[in-house]
Amino acid sequence: MGPIRYIFPAFVFAMWVICGIGIATGQWTGIHWLLLGVAHLGCAIIFVNFVQVFAYGYGLSMVLANGAVMAWQPAPAVLLIGGLGVLYGLRLTWFVYTRDRTQGYAATRAKGDRANAGVPLPLRLFMWVSCGWLMGFLAMPAWVASGAPGLTAGVLAGGALMLAGLVLEATADAQKQAEKTARPATFASTGLYARLRHPNYLGESIFQVGLVVAASAAAIAGGMGGWAIAAGLAGPLYIVILMYYAANDQDRQQSERYGQDAAYQAWRQKSSSLLPGL
């Protein structure tokens, strides 16, 4: 997806720098290694199916890493932010499981299987390490929440955004899956998709912004300093950027596939990509 091939390694490198600074200053502790460990465990599916690291790997890592923080420090703020992270992971894992078994997704699944067959082991190892670090850092906001003096207004606001994004993404995924099941050869253009071409990506972005708000608010309220803020923001910020490029890439693919369809042209004219009016 264009610039993402450079942006992703840059963010992973930034996470390594954050880790290094944390180790040098004594702020990186056992819980952070645990987050990385369970995140890499969730991403190990890459050795079975490369493509699924971005689906099952994402969902399982969110469950394992956020669950680890909740078990380590079951404070109210951690239970809120970590619990929503676990819920997100469970929802995504179930959605992928049901979607992959529909007839409308058969062609995409077959394409993914063909791509998986050609991925060499060195690339799998590289992406396993990179995705494991990303998934570990996506659970950092739950760790940062452990420093908050209770359920502050900022943490609650972040949690509200996370819940709103989760509901929006789940609704959009369900609507798209239903439409693709009924009409496998066409594009989703009803429900939320009537005015937004990628409401699922918008929901994901809102969820990640909620993590940013919650982590920032918790770190500031708890006096945790700049390192904790950087650790809590790195993962979610990358996903927001990824969603922007994913929406552009999806627009390009749809234009290539349906560009000559008058119905698609009319829908494209009246709809927005990620945000209404934009």
Distance of CA 118 to the CA centre of its chain: 25
Mean of per-residue pLDDT scores for the chain = 95
* Residues ≥6 apart with Cβ < 8 Å to 219: 144, 147, 225, 228, 229, 232
Q: Beta-carbon neighbour count of residue 80 at 10 Å?
A: 23
| Residue 84: Cβ-neighbour burial (10 angstroms; 0-12, 13-18, 19+) | buried
Residues facing 272 on adjacent strands = 196
* Residues ≥6 apart with Cβ < 8 Å to 231: 18, 22, 137, 140, 143, 144
**118-139: average pLDDT:** 97
pLDDT at 138: 99
Q: Convert the pLDDT of each residue in 201-236 to its tens digit.
A: 999 999 999 999 999 999 999 999 999 999 999 999
Q: Which two tokens stand for residue 86?
A: 């676990």
How many residues does this entry show for the chain?
Answer: 278
Higher pLDDT, 181 or 108: 181
Residue 101 pLDDT greater than 90, yes or no: no
| Spatial contact of 39 and 135, defined as CB atoms under 8 Å apart | yes
Residue 278 pLDDT greater than 70, yes or no: no
pLDDT at 108: 77
d(CA 77, CA 96) in angstroms, rounded, equals 29
pLDDT at 167: 99
Q: Beta-carbon neighbour count of residue 149 at 10 Å?
A: 12
Q: pLDDT confidence of 110, banded at 50, 70, 90?
A: confident
**169-187: average pLDDT:** 91
Residue 185 pLDDT greater than 90, yes or no: no
Using the CB atoms, write b or e for 45-58: b if 16+ within 10 Å.
Answer: bbeebbbbbbbbbb
As a 3-state breakdown, the chain gives helix, strand, coil percent values, each rounded to 5, of 80, 0, 20
pLDDT at 1: 60
